[in-house]
Structure 1
Amino acid sequence: MKATIDWTGNVSFKATSGTGHEVQIDGPPDHGGQNLGPRPMEMVLMGLGGCSSFDVMSILQKSRQDVTACRTELEAERADAVPSVFTRIHLHFIVTGRNLKENQVKRAVSLSAEKYCSASIMLAQGGVEISHSYEIHEAA
C-alpha cells in the first residue's frame, strides 16, 4: 500500500492513495489553514470508521441479512498533552434493514472489533480504548 502527500500551501496538503483517489487535508484558520478539508487526525478516525463499517457490512451480507442502511458514528477523545493521541474511541453502528437478527448484528460488530478491522486492532494495540455499540432499526 502506498500514498503520497503533496503540500499545496500554508497548512494544506493533497493526499493521494496508491489507487489514485485524492483527499484535501487542511488545518483550521487559527493554524494558517482555510478549512478546505479534514484534519489529519480526523482522517485517522474516518479510516477507522470506514474499515470497521466495511467489515460489519461484509459480515452481515454474508449472513444474508437484509440491510438497507448502515451508519457508524464515531466519537474520540484525545490526550491534552503533545502528542495529542487518541485515548478513547467509541463506534456506534446504526443498522437498518428488514427482519434483522440481533445476534447477527452483534456478531458482525464483535468480529470486526476483535478479528478483522486492522485499524481498530492497530489503535487498540497502541493503547487506545475502543468501545462499540449498535442499534437496529426496522426498514419502512
Structure 2
Amino acid sequence: MKFQMKEESGFYTELPFGRLDISGDEEYGFRPFQLLVSSVVVCSGGVLRKILKKQRVDFQNIEIEANVTRDDEKADRVAKIEVHFIITGKGLKEEKIHKAMELSRKHCSMVQSVIPSIEVIETFELIEG
C-alpha cells in the first residue's frame, strides 16, 4: 500500500474499491482509531457470518455494536474493544452460537493481530425473527 500526503490534513491511498482518506481530523477523512476498530469488528463479524453459514444456522441478520475504551495516559491508545453481536434468526441455539463465536475469535486475523495489546471482549444476543 502506498499513502500520499494530502494538502489540508492527513493522507490517502487508492485501493481497488476506491480512495481511502485518513486523517486525525474527521473533516478530512476517517480517523485512524475508527479504521482500527472497524477492522477488528468487521473481520470478526465476517468470520462469524461464514461460520454460521457453514454450520447452516438459520440467521437473517447480524448487527454489531462496538464500544471503545481509550487510555489517555498512553497516547490515547485503544485499550479495549467491546464487540456485541445482535443475531436475528429462527431457532437459534445459544450454545451453538457461543461455539461459533469461539471459532470466529480464533480465525479472525484482525482480532489475533491486536490481542493481547488490546483487550477484545465479544458478546452476543439472539433475537427470534
* Common topology (TM > 0.5): yes
Question: What is the CA-CA distance between 1:87 and the residue it aligns to?
Answer: 1.1
Question: What is the CA-CA distance between 1:93 and the residue it aligns to?
Answer: 0.5
2:12 aligned residue? 14
1:31 aligned residue? none
In structure 1, how many angstroms separate the alpha carbons of the residues matched to 2:21 and 2:83? 24
Tell me the matched-pair count. Answer: 129
Q: Deviations over 1:86-112 (max 9, x none)?
A: 111111001111222222211121111
In structure 2, how many angstroms separate the alpha carbons of the residues matched to 1:97 and 1:5? 41
In 1, are the aligned partners of 2:8 and 2:28 still within 8 Å (CA)? no
**1:75 and 2:67 correspond:** yes
SS in 1 for 2:2: strand
2:104 aligned residue? 112
2:83 aligned residue? 91
Q: After the TM superposition, which segments of 4 or more aligned residues of structure 1 sit over 3 Å from their partners?
A: none
Tell me, which stretches of 5 or more residues in structure 1 are unaligned? Answer: 29-33
In 2, are the aligned partners of 1:65 and 1:100 still within 8 Å (CA)? yes
Question: What is the CA-CA distance between 1:137 and the residue it aligns to?
Answer: 0.7
1:17-96 equivalence runs, <5 A: 17=15, 19-28=16-25, 35-96=27-88
Aligned Cα root-mean-square deviation (Å): 1.8
Question: What is the CA-CA distance between 1:82 and the residue it aligns to?
Answer: 4.3
TM-score, reference length from structure 2: 0.88
Tell me, which stretches of 5 or more residues in structure 2 are unaligned? Answer: none
Q: Deviations over 1:1-55 (max 9, x none)?
A: xx222222222322333x4533222333xxxxx6243201110100111110011
In structure 2, how many angstroms separate the alpha carbons of the residues matched to 1:108 and 1:35? 38
**Which protein, 1 or 2, shows the higher relative CO under an 8 Å CA cutoff with sep ≥ 6?**
2
1:137 aligned residue? 127
Identity %: 26
